[in-house]
Amino acid sequence: MNIRSVLEYVPYFRGRLFVVHICEELLAAEPLVDALLDVDALHEIGVRLVLVAEGEDTSLLLRRAGLCEVHAAAAELPLTTGEMALARVREIVERRQVAIVASGTTGQFDAGSVALAAQLGAAKYICLQAGGVPGRGGQPIFAVLERDVFSGACDDCTHADTLLQAAEVCRCGVPRVHLLDGRYRGVLLDEIFSEEGVGAMVHTDSYREIRLLQEDDIPELLSMIARCVVDSKLVERTYESIREHIDSYYVYTLDDTIVGCVALYPFAAEHCAELGCLFIKKNYEGHGYGRAMCRYVEERARDLGYEWIFAISQSAVDYFRDRLGYAELPRDVLPESRRAVLEASGRASAVFGRRLS
């Protein structure tokens, strides 16, 4: 687990409420100890938690939570009793304890547990299962929008019926549902404190988003690209220069954390635009985020009526030519003003471009 990722997520999760549904088979299993230690760690950083024990009894889960020194208390009534159980869970959570409650029935998406998560405004509904998670080609699907689940995009996945149930929970008002194999050590923290996770997540909100840069983001962007500027892989930029052209910059976010950036500089008179300032944080390389940002600004340029797009680089030749399919072009195709700046810089950069029509 990357410590930087953990530190980025801690403020984001503090004060949020997670409902963790534990299947009956795991309640007496040894791996649950590791999950409860994860629960304790989450509670220590300020996450509010409700543990739902599948079935009628909370005594075993409460006892094991005590052995792990989790600050927990159990609701006396199962969720099948309705409002009285909900009120008791709310009381326990509000006094800064981990609430433990029995579902009173079978299944990981029972009506009482889902209603509890929705009514308490849970940010996550986490299912700890005693088996595999939905995947494709031997790999978890990591993250999928609930609307894509309903559109049939996951019909070829394993456990497709479970994904549909998870998507239904999203439609009840819970933004994210995580399906995890609770038999693996550290599965909760590995899922929550990494961008791709180790299980499958069905979500309704902007887990992945490309958006316009905001002024509050500028210090983060400057810090992010600083090393590449030192290494001469990117042109130096200042706070003022970015703010002046802020509508040209876009950032790629995961869970509201900025992991990449790109810029689109227009040359309206020449009917073209430049793709610039393309950068992905090192820990996030290899997931296709750079390609997604390039395609995004290409589409923006197309929508603005530009006929072609170009990029100038001396360090990403293989990326633009071989990965994105850009053609290498002579410098004299550049808009005159841009060519003058490039020549004055003395940089041995290559020019790449593609038609947008």
Q: What is the pLDDT along the chain (357 residues), one digit of tens a residue?
A: 556 666 667 777 889 999 999 999 999 999 999 999 999 999 999 999 999 999 999 999 999 999 999 999 999 999 999 999 999 999 999 999 999 999 999 999 999 999 999 999 999 999 999 988 898 888 888 888 899 999 998 999 999 999 999 999 999 999 999 999 999 888 999 998 876 688 999 998 667 789 999 999 999 888 888 876 655 566 778 899 999 999 999 999 887 788 899 999 999 999 999 999 999 888 778 778 899 999 999 999 999 999 999 999 887 888 898 889 999 999 999 999 999 999 998 888 899 999 997
Q: What is the pLDDT of residue 257?
A: 81
Residue 143's pLDDT is what? 86
CA distance readout (Å), 208 to 83, 196, 292, 294, 306: 36, 10, 11, 15, 27
- DSSP sequence for 176-223: EEEEEETTSTTHHHHHHTSSS-SSEEEESS-SEEEEE--GGGHHHHHH
Quote the pLDDT of residue 337.
95
Q: Give the homologous superfamily in CATH for domain 209-355.
A: Gcn5-related N-acetyltransferase (GNAT) (3.40.630.30)
Place domain 3-205 in its CATH homologous superfamily: Acetylglutamate kinase-like (3.40.1160.10)
Pairing of strands 350-355, 139-140: unpaired
**Cβ-contact 144, 154 below 8 angstroms:** yes
Query: In terms of residues, how long is the chain?
Result: 357
pLDDT at 39: 96
Cα(206)–Cα(228) distance, integer angstroms: 28
Residues in contact with 71: Cβ distance below 8 Å, sequence separation at least 6, in sequence order = 40, 43, 96, 97, 98
Segments making up each domain of the chain, as ranges: 3-205, 209-355
